[in-house]
Amino acid sequence: MPGGNIWVDKKKMSSSQYRPVNDFYGNLPIPNPNSRFNKGRFIFNVEPAVLQEMIEAHLVSGKCPDRDKTKLKELVATLHENDNNLLFVGKLKHDK
């Protein structure tokens, strides 16, 4: 069975698969976003060590835009394993 995240448009009676990304931080893929949407907003709560691993993997993947690499490297440098979780809140937008 195929898995993934499904976007449902109740007005159009249609659905499609989606992959959320944080376009403020170099199109960083956001894993497992189920039940973290509210009134057009996306909420992502992540531990610092997990975010650091996500960013490092994204940087070596070659999918991070060059203009955002410095921003991500600077963010990684500020993360420490014993810090509090980080909370990303953003507005949802749909790119086709």
Q: Is residue 53 part of a domain?
A: yes
Note the pLDDT of residue 24.
Answer: 87
The pLDDT tens digits for 2-29 are 566 787 888 999 988 877 888 889 999 8
Choose between 92 and 58: higher pLDDT.
58
Long-range contacts from 14-23, C-beta under 8 angstroms, 24+ separation: 22/88, 22/90
Q: How confident is the model at residue 80 (pLDDT cuts 50, 70, 90)?
A: very high
Q: Is residue 96 part of a domain?
A: no
Long-range contacts from 59-66, C-beta under 8 angstroms, 24+ separation: 63/27, 64/26, 64/27, 64/28, 65/26, 65/27
Q: How confident is the model at residue 71 (pLDDT cuts 50, 70, 90)?
A: very high
Note the pLDDT of residue 1.
Answer: 44
CB atoms within 10 A of CB 71: 15
**pTM of this prediction?**
0.78
Q: Which amino acid is at 21?
A: V
Domain range enclosing 21? 5-91
Report how many domains make up the chain. 1
CA–CA dist 63, 65 (Å, integer): 6
Token pair 């993360």 in the structure block, residue? 79
SS3 15: strand
Residue 45: is its pLDDT beyond 50?
Answer: yes
